[in-house]
């Protein structure tokens, strides 16, 4: 009954937020708490800023109950209530929901798919990186009644997480971009990553949904619960949506079989490692009836943002900034692509990779060994993960990003191609700022 009453208030609200700094008049504010914060302290502040309803699980001030009356919803757990409200709203939506997870490329793939589907349908997609236990419910609750497709990104760093998201996202279609050495600390090794990511397949299989899967990925193909419900894409000749990598610049180009004709698509995505991300969007467009010309238009217009494989020109220098995240799989692919680029002066700047647990030392050593074999003018590493390089004369090592920034500002790069990549904690994009 409480969820239904809350839902009626939601329908007449101006939206849902968990941050008092972003409250606008008529919002519903959920007071969440974690290890280092307790938003129940800001209930009165939320009302003062214009919140219509506040959902709290702790009554800090007894006077609030009388002061705010029925506009203050006291619940056992604010987070679970947020998720339950999102699930209730999901049940009212009549549109297909596509869930996306994977070790690498989730956000790029989500944005490409949304761009393609938006050519024909009113499409809502996860904004930014709101892909966790708080962001996903907020994404669902941002979807309005005019929706025709919803594309939901799911991030995870331990087993059981994807399964829990499926309980309220209830996807009709699923896509795992890939499975790699990411968050191995929380997942308990590579097999744990596989088990955790394929929780999406398990849900889709049990609910007679359909899975989009790369025909070139034997591991993921082997994990599909029912091959008959698998819609494939990739280089394999028997793929439902078949394509190949074209030649040319450092930007990804594709040649796609479009109803018997060859369709050339030139993207603004840096690196051939984006091939499967682009093909999955093409495949979905084809499956859901988007015209191939519009698919091409959507992919060619998409420009990466938010430090994800962005190509930046600074004077005579070209920078590939891929500083949003990093794990051994994505690091390897980025370096492999960078090695193909023909440029007289090349510099690699790599930040440490996080959440690898027992695998941290060996995986950082593998990446360092790969870089040291590359014909690159300067090989720069930062962060404790690469601490073993501290006294290596073949490389430049910094313990802290601030030290790297000071060094970078003192360089006089000219006609240089740079790859800057590292985990979010490194915030390597800051070295480019004054």
Query: Among 108-112, 305-309, 320-324, 335-339, whose mean pLDDT is lowest?
Result: 305-309
According to DSSP, the β-strands at 251-258 and 241-245 are antiparallel
Is this structure's pTM higher than 0.75? yes
| Calpha distance 171→157 (Å, rounded) | 20
What is the percent of the chain with per-residue pLDDT over 70, rounded to a whole number? 98
Note the CATH number of domain 2-78: 3.40.1390.10
- Most confident option among 298-307, 352-361, 377-386: 377-386
Q: What pLDDT does 147 receive?
A: 97
Count Cβ atoms within 10 A of the Cβ of residue 58 and give its class: 0-12 exposed, 13-18 middle, 19 or more buried: middle
Q: What pLDDT does 113 receive?
A: 98
H or E segment to which residue 253 belongs: strand 251-258
In this chain, the answer to whether the domains covering 93-301 and 310-432 adopt an identical fold is no
Write down the residue that tokens 């929706």 correspond to.
147
Q: What pLDDT does 344 receive?
A: 87
Radius of gyration, alpha carbons of the chain: 23
Average pLDDT over residues 88-92: 97
Q: What pLDDT does 185 receive?
A: 72
Q: Where are the domains of the chain?
A: 2-78, 93-301, 310-432
Average pLDDT over residues 328-337: 92
Q: Does domain 310-432 correspond to CATH entry 3.40.50.2300?
A: no
Query: Among 85-99, 146-160, 239-253, 405-419, whose mean pLDDT is lowest?
Result: 239-253
Half-sphere exposure of 280 (CA within 13 A, CB side): 33
Distance (Å) of CA 300 to CA 76, 121, 253, 267: 48, 19, 9, 5
Q: Which CATH architecture has domain 93-301?
A: 3-Layer(aba) Sandwich (3.40)
Q: What pLDDT does 229 receive?
A: 80
The yes-or-no verdict on residue 284 having pLDDT over 70 is: yes
Cα dihedral value 51, 56, 58, 64, nearest 10: 40
Q: Which of 226, 181, 173, 219 is nearest to 200 (CA)?
A: 173
Q: What pLDDT does 227 receive?
A: 62
DSSP 141-177: HT--TT-SEEEEE---SSTTHHHHHHHHH--SEEEE-
Average pLDDT over residues 201-210: 94
| Average pLDDT in the chain | 93
């Amino acid at each position: 009954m409480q969820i239904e009453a809350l839902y009626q208030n939601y329908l007449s609200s101006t939206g849902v937020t968990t941050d008092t700094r972003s409250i606008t008049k008529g919002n519903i504010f959920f007071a969440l708490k974690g290890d280092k914060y307790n938003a129940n302290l800001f209930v009165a502040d939320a009302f003062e800023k214009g919140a219509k309803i506040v959902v709290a699980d702790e009554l800090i001030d007894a006077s609030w109950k009388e002061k705010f009356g029925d506009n203050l919803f006291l619940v056992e757990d604010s987070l679970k209530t947020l998720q339950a409200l999102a699930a209730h709203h999901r049940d009212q939506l009549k549109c297909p929901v596509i869930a996306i997870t994977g070790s690498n490329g989730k956000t790029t793939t989500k944005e490409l798919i949304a761009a393609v589907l938006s050519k024909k349908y009113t499409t809502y997609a996860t904004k930014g990186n709101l892909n966790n236990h708080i962001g996903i419910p907020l994404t669902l609750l941002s979807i309005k009644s005019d929706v025709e497709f919803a594309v939901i990104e799911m991030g995870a760093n331990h087993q059981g997480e994807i399964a829990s998201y499926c309980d309220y996202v209830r996807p009709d279609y699923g896509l795992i971009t890939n499975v790699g050495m990411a968050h191995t600390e929380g997942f308990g090794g590579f097999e744990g990553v596989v088990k955790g990511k394929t929780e999406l397949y398990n849900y889709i299989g049990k609910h007679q949904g359909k899975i989009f899967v790369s025909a070139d990925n034997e591991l993921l193909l082997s994990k599909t619960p029912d091959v008959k419900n698998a819609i494939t894409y990739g280089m394999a000749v028997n793929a439902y949506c078949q394509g190949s990598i074209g030649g040319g610049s450092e930007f990804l180009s594709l040649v796609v079989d479009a109803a018997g004709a060859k369709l050339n698509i030139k993207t603004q995505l840096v690196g051939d490692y984006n091939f499967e991300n682009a093909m999955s969007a093409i495949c979905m467009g084809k499956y859901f009836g988007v015209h191939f010309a519009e698919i091409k238009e959507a992919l060619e217009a998409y420009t990466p943002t938010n430090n994800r494989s962005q190509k930046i020109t600074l004077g005579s220098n070209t920078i590939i900034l891929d500083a949003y995240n990093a794990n051994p799989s994505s690091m390897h692919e980025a370096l492999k692509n960078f090695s193909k680029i023909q440029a007289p002066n090349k510099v690699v700047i790599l930040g440490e990779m996080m959440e690898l647990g027992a695998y941290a030392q060996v995986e950082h050593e593998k990446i360092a060994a790969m870089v040291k074999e590359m014909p690159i003018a300067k090989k720069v590493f930062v962060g404790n993960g690469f601490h073993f390089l501290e006294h290596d004369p073949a490389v430049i090592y910094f313990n802290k990003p601030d030290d790297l920034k000071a060094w970078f500002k003192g360089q006089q790069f000219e006609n240089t191609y740079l790859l800057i990549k590292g985990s979010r904690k490194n915030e390597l994009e800051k070295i480019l700022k004054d």
